[in-house]
Structure 1
C-alpha cells in the first residue's frame, strides 16, 4: 500500500511539474488545502523568495488539493524523499512524535498570538528538532485558527450551558475526552456529515475555526457561536531530510530563511480570511459570544492533561508554554 502511494505521488509530480522548469531544481511540496488557501499561498511565496535567494538554483512547485495524497500519505512520501516538502497539521504526527501532542492539548494556548510566540521560541524549536529522528526537517509553523463551539440550540456562556449537549468532534481520543470533561457528549464523525447531522438533530453542534464554520455553511444550521478557543493547533511545514541533506550549506540556510519569512505571509492571509468569515456570519445574524470566562473550562481539563501529559519532558514543555508571556 505504501509503495502504491509513493508511486502515485511520483507519477503525479512528474506529470504536473512542467509549470516550474526555469529553476535548476524544483522542489515538490504537498498540501491538502485548495489553491488560494493561506498555507498554499505562503509556500508559493516561499518558493519565490527561495528562487531569488539561490539565484535560480531552487524553487518550489506546490501541489495543492491533496494531489499527492492526504496528510498521512504526504508524510510518508516526504520521509522517503519521493516528494520534498509537505504542509500538514500536527495531529497526524501525535502518535509518532510525542512532542507534537503538547500543542494539540485543549487550552494550552491563551490566544492565537500566544501560540505564535510559543512556536517561534524554544518550545517550537524543540518540536522542530524532534522531526529529525523521523527523516524530516521541521521548517516553520503555520496557523490553523482557533476552534470554538457552535450549535443550533442556544448561546453558550458557561460550562453549565454545555451540559448534556451533543457535539461532533474530530476522530481523536483527546478531543472526545476534552468534550466529556466539559460536561457535554462527544460524537466523532466525518466532517462531511456535520451539516446534515445538525440539521436533523442527530447532534446539537460542532467546533471549528471561523473560516471552516463559514465556508462549510454550518452557520446556516448552527446559529450560536461561542469563541472559547479551546483548540489552537498549529500546522507545520516539513522537508524531507534526504532532500535537505542533498543541498549545499548555503542552500540549506536559504531554505530555512525563506520558510521563516513565509510565516508572515501566511499570518497576514489568515488574519484577513478569518476577519472576512466573521463578518459574513455576523451579517447572517449569527449570535457570536465573546464575553466568556475561560477559567472554569481550563480547570476542567485537569484529567485530560493527567492522561496525556505523562513524561517529565512533556510536563516541562507544558510549563514552558504556560510561562511564555
Structure 2
C-alpha cells in the first residue's frame, strides 16, 4: 500500500508541468465509480468551470480510487500534489475534528433540516474549520441516510448485529456507533469492500442506497435494512496550497460552479435513491424497515458520553438539533 502511494505521488509531481497554452488544470480524485451521482455531479461541475472560464481553468477527474484512498487523497491535498477531492465527512473528521459531530446517529429530523444546517452558519463554520489543516471545504454533497446491509443475516433490531463484522469508514465515531449497536466494526477502504464482502472478511456494511447500488454490493448482500442511523454528507475539498495559487477570477469561476453543482447534486441524488431502490429489489435484495427507535435508543449514550468528554462538540450537536 505504501509503495502504491509513493508511485501515485511521483505520478502527480511529474505531471504538474506548466501548460504552454496557459490553461490551468486542477486534478480532482475520489473513490466513487463513474455511475455514482456524486461523480456525475463533479463532471457537471468540471463542465461549468470550463464554460465559465472559456477553457482557461479546467478540472481533471480521477475516479475509482485511482490516486489512492480518501485519506491518502487528503494527504496529497495538504502537500499540494493533488488539487481537489471528495471525501466523506466521517473521513474528514480525522483532519478536522469538529466534523465528527455530523456522524452522530439520528442528529437530523429530515432532509430539509439537514440542508438548513449544511447551508447555514453551522455548516459554513464547519467547512472553514479545516483551513488550519491546509484543507478548504467548498461544499456539502448530499449522501442521504446510511443504513446496514448484510450477506446472510437480516437486521431488524440492534441485537441482530451481535457478533457480525460490519465494515465502517475510518471514523472513530462510526466505530463507536457500531459497537453501541452490538456489532464488530471493521474499517476497510471503500475500494476493497466488494472483495472483502465476497471473501467473508466482513458480514456486511453500512451506507446509502445509491452507493450500495453503484458499487454492486447488492450482488453479494441480499438484505438492506432501512434503519437510517446517520446522515453523513460528502465534502468537496480543495487543498489550500492549490487554492492560494488561484487568481481571484479563477476562484470566482470555481465557487460559482460549486454552488450550481451543489443544487444539481441534490436533485440527482433523489433520483438516484429512487432508481437504486427499484433496481436492487429487481436483483433480489430484501428491503427491511425496522423500528428506528430501537437503534436510536442504543445510540443516545453516545451524546451523553460526548457531554462529559467534549463539551464544545456536545453544544454543537445540540445547536444542530435545534435548527428550525
Same fold, TM-score > 0.5, yes or no: yes
Q: Give unmatched runs, 5+ long, in structure 2.
A: none
Shift in Å, 1:227:
0.8
The alpha-carbon distance between structure 1 residues 276 and 82, as it changes in their structure 2 partners (threshold 3 A), is: same
Q: Partner residue of 1:166?
A: 164
Provide the residue aligned with 1:295 in structure 2. 293
**CA separation of 1:155 and 1:319: change in aligned 2, threshold 3 A:** closer
Is the contact between residue 195 and residue 217 of structure 1 (CA under 8 Å) also seen in structure 2?
Answer: no
2:246 aligned counterpart, secondary structure: coil
**1:101 aligned to 2:100?**
yes
Preserved CA contact (<8 Å) 2:23 2:55: yes
How much does 1:126 deviate? 0.9
Q: Distance in 1 between matches of 2:31 and 2:15?
A: 14
Q: Secondary structure at the match of 1:78?
A: helix
Structure 2 CA distance, aligned partners of 1:141 and 1:303?
Answer: 27
Q: TM-score, normalised by structure 1?
A: 0.83
Larger displacement relative to structure 2 (133-142 or 170-179): 170-179
**What are the ranges of 5 or more consecutive residues in structure 1 without an aligned counterpart?**
none
Show the counterpart of 1:60. 59
CA distance in 1, matches of 2:222, 2:69: 31
Residue in structure 1 matched with residue 317 of structure 2 by the alignment:
318
Residue 198 of structure 2 is aligned with which of 195, 199, 203? 195
Which string of whole-angstrom CA distances, capped at 9 and with x for unpartnered residues, describes residues 175-232 of structure 1? Answer: 34323323x332416423223429xxx74x4332223433455445544322111122
Q: Counterpart in 2 of 1:153? A: 153
Partner of 1:209: 208
CA offset digits 1:88-114 (Å, max 9, x no partner): 222222223111111122222334443
Question: What is the alpha-carbon distance in structure 2 between the residues aligned to residue 261 and residue 45 of structure 1?
Answer: 9
Note the C-alpha offset of 1:146.
Answer: 2.0
Alignment deviations for residues 49-108 of structure 1 (CA, whole Å, 9 cap, x no partner): 223333433221112222332222211221222222111222222223111111122222
Corresponding residue for 1:240? Answer: 239
Summarize deviations over 1:229-252 as a string: whole Å, max 9, x none.
Answer: 112211111112222222333332
Deviation >4 Å, runs of 4+: 1-5, 215-218
Match of 2:225 in 1: 226
Work out whether 1:114 is the aligned partner of 2:117: no
TM-score computed with the length of structure 2 as normaliser: 0.83
CA–CA distance in 2 between the matches of 1:245 and 1:131? 15
Determine helix, strand or coil for the equivalent of 1:319. helix
Encode CA deviations 1:235-281: one digit per residue, 9 max, x unaligned: 11111222222233333233212111111222233222222221022
Q: Please say if 1:6 is aligned against 2:15.
A: no
User: RMSD across aligned C-alpha pairs, in angstroms?
Assistant: 3.0
In the TM superposition, what is the alpha-carbon distance from 1:321 to its structure 2 partner? 1.3
Aligned mates of 1:83, 1:218 — CA distance in 2 = 29
Aligned twin of 2:183:
185
SS in 2 for 1:238: strand
